[in-house]
Structure formats: C-alpha cells, structure tokens
Amino acid sequence: MELTYLFEAFWIIAFIIAFWHLTKTKSLADAMIFMIPALVWSYFVEFLGMNFWKIYEYPDSYVLGLFGVPIAIACGWATIMHFGYYFTTHYIHVTKRMNVDLDSALISTAIDFIILEPFAFIFKFWVWKQNDFWFGAPLFNFIGWFLIITLYLITYQYISSKYKDKKQQAIYFTIALTIAFIILQIIGWAYLTIFGYWF
C-alpha cells in the first residue's frame, strides 16, 4: 500500500476528530465557524502555492484532490491550526489575545518544521521544486505558514469577541478572511519579488 494513502487517511480522520472535539468543547456552530473556514483557507493557500507560485508539487498517488491539491493537506492544516490554538489556550494557559495568536502559530509551524517536512522529504508526500533550507523546504514556507496561521487566528479572535451571534460571526469572519487572504497574497508577492523564492 502506498504510504501516501495512510498519510491522506490520517489527516482526513484527524480533521473529523478535531471537528468533533470542537463540537464537544464548544458547540457545532463554533466548530463550523472555526474548522470549515480553516479548511477552505488552507486549501486556497495550497492551491496558490502549487499552481501560481509553482514552488512545490504533489504526487498523483493522493486519492482525493481538487485541481491538483490533496484535500487531506487542507484537512491537515485545519487540524494543526485547531491543535495549536487549543494547546495554547488550554494547556499553556496563554490568555493575552496576541500572545495566543503568535504562540499558536509558532506551535503549528513547529509541527511542520519538526515532523511534516522531514517525513514529506523521506516519503515524497510533496516535493519542493528546489532542494533548499530544511529538507527541501525554503525558509519562505515557514515564514508563510507562521503568518498565515497568525492572521487567521487574529481574525478569528477579533470577530468572535466582537460578535456574539453565530450567524454574524460566520458572515463577518468570511468577509474578514477574504480581505486578509488578499493582503496575505500581496505580502507574499512582495516578499518573493524582493527576495526570490528560495531566500
């Protein structure tokens, strides 16, 4: 059996468990508001990284994909974001909003740095176009994911604290994330223009 199948199944199951966990610790509405946008957010980041920036690619061995991006990868990032946020707020007991965002993003990015990139390099779960910095991954990858997760959580915490009605949260969070995503891509474009892909 292809190891990619196990990797794919693991992240899809992990996403389902994380979603279920959030429904139990908070509510179904909270799980929908946090996890579904995280899934979509992660998918579009991956889509642009692969199809627009063209700095890495995925093998054809993934079963579930959309326009070349494995759904499991987006599930993985949504799950990691939830884990980082939950771990920071419930186990480290960080309370200041900005510290929660930064610490959660740091934990999530560290998972990619310590676990995912080495495993991906060994088992070819994804392949960077140019062998670079850390098991093929450029520094830009880690800076990017740290910013992506920080921006997501800043937006989430601001909207969830400002609006108590779940429908309002869902609407304004979607709008705010769309704006944040555009800003993030502009920052990414500026970074790559100045420093190049592999700085």
Q: What is the mean pLDDT of each run of 10 residues along the chain (199 residues)?
A: 86 97 93 94 88 82 90 96 90 76 90 93 88 82 88 90 89 90 81 64
Contact of 78 with 22, CB cutoff 8 Å: no
Q: Given this model, what pLDDT does residue 190 score? A: 79
Q: Given this model, what pLDDT does residue 91 score? A: 84
Between vectors from CA 40 to CA 35 and to CA 43, what angle results, nearest 5°? 120
In this structure, the dihedral spanned by the alpha carbons of residues 57, 124, 186 and 65, taken in order and rounded to 10 degrees, is 60
This prediction has a pTM of 0.88
Sign of CA dihedral 10, 66, 134, 107: negative
Q: Given this model, what pLDDT does residue 198 score? A: 47
65-66 and 69-70: which strand pairing?
A: antiparallel
CA–CA gap between residue 189 and residue 191 (Å, rounded): 5
Nearest Cα to Cα of residue 43 among 181, 150, 135: 181
Nearest Cα to Cα of residue 181 among 76, 84, 52, 87: 52
Name residues whose C-beta falls within 8 Å of residue 189's C-beta, 6 or more positions apart in sequence: none
Q: Given this model, what pLDDT does residue 1 score? A: 47
- Helices 28-51 and 71-90 sit at what angle, rounded to 10 degrees? 130
As to burial, measured by CB atoms within 10 angstroms (0-12 exposed, 13-18 middle, 19+ buried), residue 109 is buried
Q: Given this model, what pLDDT does residue 197 score? A: 55
Name residues whose C-beta falls within 8 Å of residue 71's C-beta, 6 or more positions apart in sequence: 12, 43, 64, 65
CB atoms within 10 A of CB 165: 10
* Number of domains the chain contains: 1
Contact of 129 with 54, CB cutoff 8 Å: yes
Domain that holds residue 129: 3-195
